[in-house]
Amino acid sequence: MKGIFSVLVENRDGVLSGISALFARRGYNIESLTVGETEKRDVSSMTIVSTGDARTIDQIEKQLNKKVDVIKVRRLDENKSIAMEMLLIKVSYSATNRAALIETCSVMGAKIMHVAPKNMIIELHSDPDTVGEFIELVRSFGILEVQKTGTIAMNKN
């Protein structure tokens, strides 16, 4: 089971390390973690994706709510929220497969950011499943490097 948590926290030193320490102490896995300042400079928004059984996901929510620096915890339903990731990927190509790589990018909505004689840097921002699918599609070309953000998510309502 996947748990997606939108957590508003006080924007100050040590908050991120305190949250990650909570996960480490309890043995919870962090699949993805992103943090950014909100419209209020003194508040940051964290999106934390974790996996576990229903009991574990419930415990994560309870433990997050106990943290002093946490303002609000919302558990997001995958079906009622929008989740996005951004990917930069460097892929090798040859004269024989260059057109196929460009076509794959076009079909998947990826943008070619830089072209070198033997590789391309490609950008894609989409839902986490599509990002994963794109990585698998270009794997056969030869992935040289991958940089991927964590998930950001927002409730639709």
Cα(16)–Cα(12) distance, rounded to whole angstroms?
9
* Confidence class for position 148, pLDDT limits 50, 70, 90: very high
Tell me the pLDDT tens digit for each residue of 95-141.
999 999 999 999 999 999 999 999 999 999 999 999 999 999 999 99
What average pLDDT does this structure show over 67-91? 96
The predicted structure's pLDDT at residue 157: 87
pLDDT in tens, 20-60: 999 999 999 999 999 999 999 999 999 999 999 999 999 99
DSSP calls for 43-72: EEEEEEEEE--HHHHHHHHHHHHH-TTEEE
**C-alpha angle 108-111-117 in degrees, rounded to nearest 5:** 115
Any residues with CB less than 8 A from the CB of 67 and at least 6 apart, and which?
9, 18, 19, 22
Closest to 135 measured CA to CA, from 96, 92, 99, 87: 87
